[in-house]
Amino acid sequence: MTAAKRPSGGGLRLRDVLRADVPAIYRALSESQGDEDSLVRRTYRFVHWLEHGGKRRVRAYLVTPLPLLWSWAEDTTWAGQIHKRYLRELWRERGWLGRGGLLASLLLWPPVVLGLIAWSSWLNGLATRRAVAKSITQQVLEQIWFAGRYGMLPVWYYMFEMFDPAQQTKAPHYIHRYELKSGLLNVLRLSVPQQRRSPTRNKTAFMRHCAQHGIPVLGNLALFAEGRLKGGRARQHGLPPRDLFVKPTHGRGGEGAGLWHWTGAGYQLHDGPVLSAEALTAQLAVWSRVRGLLVQPYAKNHPALADLSNGALCTARIVTLRNESGGFESVCALFRMAVGGNRLVDNFHAGGIAAPIDVASGRLGRATDWGLRPRHGWQTHHPDTGGAIEGRFLPLWPETRALAERAHAAFADRHIIGWDMAILEDGPHIVEANGGPDTDMHQRVSREPLGDQRFGELLAFHLRQT
């Protein structure tokens, strides 16, 4: 039997990294999942270690933030409480030797920050000068100020458009990714005993938990792990003659992951060979020796959203938080769409775009990408299909929002969850849950910080309780 391979993109190139070409980096990362010793995998593990590695629950990211020096000053705003809690936890968790190391590492602050400024200005400086008539020298000085005063590293200066005077007054209220990913989410997670924690990362355990609580999720046709078919309806009935979506049970990418088209004669990944149901079952079993795989039916968006899809499933990311009374609230949301040559997944890491969703009404704003470099800008219409984005109301939005809040009640030990939701013709379904949702994309697409909104209020509340 001939193995169906993902087309090779030539691996990760230094040029792609230097240019912050997110789609190329994501593609190289996905293609290298089967080779754990590759350079791209080692690089990915290093970046992941910066945020999550080591034994400490609170870490410094890249460099100790300069605001550590005045972290003991009082700040009663919600965002201020979050910033101070991160910095104080960073200090308190360490002994005197570790604290000395934090202070000593401040000597690295100038070269690290200046290096990031040089890189981010190279990527964005000229485009920003043309857009807002601000010299590159002034941009550099502002990046130094925001990094020193607010701990906002240079990449985020452009992501959050701090070059715009209207945005600059909001700087104290932005919640930084490193504050959550490198620490405060661990503080909240570890406040719950391990035996009481519900599953979100393990996709099979997550789907089982949802089924037990009557939460609609995209169906699980088959589970492959350790070289064999372990679960799902395919054990009794085989793989159905329809398009299938294959994804890893942990993480992203991996051999065989992607959309397998049903051709009428078998299944085909990209332009690879056509495999029969039996041959695909056997091949997925082989690939699952490296990483477990889930097989789901390929889902299509609600017909009212057809003109926002280039073929990939569009999803809504809804962040819910437990509130002061023990209920669950949707505090921010966005709608993600794939663009360009990527017709598989809609997330920012694959080069997609997203539009903010007004949580109360389901109305979309303008869409944009991650903002690491000039690329898509701000779009009122889908770049590929021409479908209107800004001002559109999502179908079934009250039901979608209610499902996210009801689902959180089934994972009540979690303080915060980011839900990936598919709005289908027969109603909303949960795709997956993220126990450590990213704040960057919400703050980027809305051009508003989360620290002075309901998100910041509830996060500060929970941190005060722990």
> Residue 59 contacts by C-beta under 8 Å, 6 or more apart in sequence?
50, 51, 52, 53, 90, 182, 183
Domain ranges (residues) in the chain: 111-175, 191-215+301-465, 222-297
Q: Report the alpha-carbon distance of residue 440 to residue 266 in Å, rounded.
A: 41
Where residue 61 falls among pLDDT bands split at 50, 70, 90? confident
For residue 410, pLDDT over 90 is answered with yes
For residue 39, pLDDT over 70 is answered with no
Give mean pLDDT, residues 71-76: 92
Amino acid at 344: L
Query: How confident is the model at residue 2, as a pLDDT?
Result: 45
Q: Report the alpha-carbon distance of residue 450 to residue 440 in Å, rounded.
A: 9
Where residue 258 falls among pLDDT bands split at 50, 70, 90? confident
Amino acid at 66: L
For residue 412, pLDDT over 80 is answered with yes
For residue 31, pLDDT over 80 is answered with no
Give mean pLDDT, residues 89-96: 94
Strand order in the sheet with 293-297: 228-231, 222-225, 293-297, 244-248, 258-262, 267-269
Give mean pLDDT, residues 47-69: 81
Give mean pLDDT, residues 33-60: 65
Candidate from 153-167, 176-190, 196-210, 321-335 with smallest mean pLDDT: 196-210
Strand order in the sheet with 427-434: 353-356, 328-337, 315-322, 416-424, 427-434
Give mean pLDDT, residues 117-145: 96
Give mean pLDDT, residues 151-160: 95
Which percentage of the chain shows pLDDT scores above 90?
Answer: 66
- Higher model confidence: residue 202 or residue 200? 200
- Higher model confidence: residue 7 or residue 156? 156
For residue 344, pLDDT over 80 is answered with no
Query: How confident is the model at residue 366, as a pLDDT?
Result: 97
Give mean pLDDT, residues 119-146: 96
Give mean pLDDT, residues 253-266: 80
Q: Report the alpha-carbon distance of residue 291 to residue 307 in Å, rounded.
A: 35
CATH 3.30.470.20 at 191-215+301-465, yes or no: yes
Query: How confident is the model at residue 230, as a pLDDT?
Result: 87
- Provide the token pair at 118: 């040089």
Give mean pLDDT, residues 62-81: 94
Q: Report the alpha-carbon distance of residue 133 to residue 140 in Å, rounded.
A: 14
Q: Which tens digit of pLDDT belongs to each residue from 348-378? A: 766 789 999 999 999 999 999 988 888 778 9
For residue 465, pLDDT over 70 is answered with yes
Contact 138, 132 (CB under 8 A): no
Q: What pairs with residue 275 in β-bridges?
A: 267
Backbone Cα Rg of the chain: 23
Using DSSP's 3-state secondary structure scheme, residue 107 falls into helix
**Candidate ranges 61-70, 257-266, 360-369, 431-440; pick with highest mean pLDDT:** 360-369
Where residue 68 falls among pLDDT bands split at 50, 70, 90? very high
For residue 282, pLDDT over 60 is answered with yes
Matching residue, tokens 């037990």: 212
For residue 3, pLDDT over 70 is answered with no
- Higher model confidence: residue 97 or residue 14? 97
Give mean pLDDT, residues 246-254: 69
Comparing CA positions, the residue from 173, 14, 147, 150 lying closest to residue 71 is 150
Q: How far is CA 394 from the centre of its chain?
A: 21
Q: Which tens digit of pLDDT belongs to each residue from 296-334? A: 888 999 999 999 998 888 999 999 999 999 999 999 999
Query: How confident is the model at residue 427, as a pLDDT?
Result: 96
Where residue 257 falls among pLDDT bands split at 50, 70, 90? confident
Mean pLDDT of the chain: 88
66 φ, ψ (degrees, to nearest 5): -60, -35
332 φ, ψ (degrees, to nearest 5): -160, 155
DSSP type of residue 379: B
For residue 199, pLDDT over 70 is answered with yes
Query: How confident is the model at residue 290, as a pLDDT?
Result: 82
Where residue 44 falls among pLDDT bands split at 50, 70, 90? low
Contact 384, 308 (CB under 8 A): no
Query: How confident is the model at residue 115, as a pLDDT?
Result: 95
Q: Which tens digit of pLDDT belongs to each residue from 229-245? A: 988 888 888 999 999 98
Give mean pLDDT, residues 439-457: 97
- Higher model confidence: residue 273 or residue 56? 273
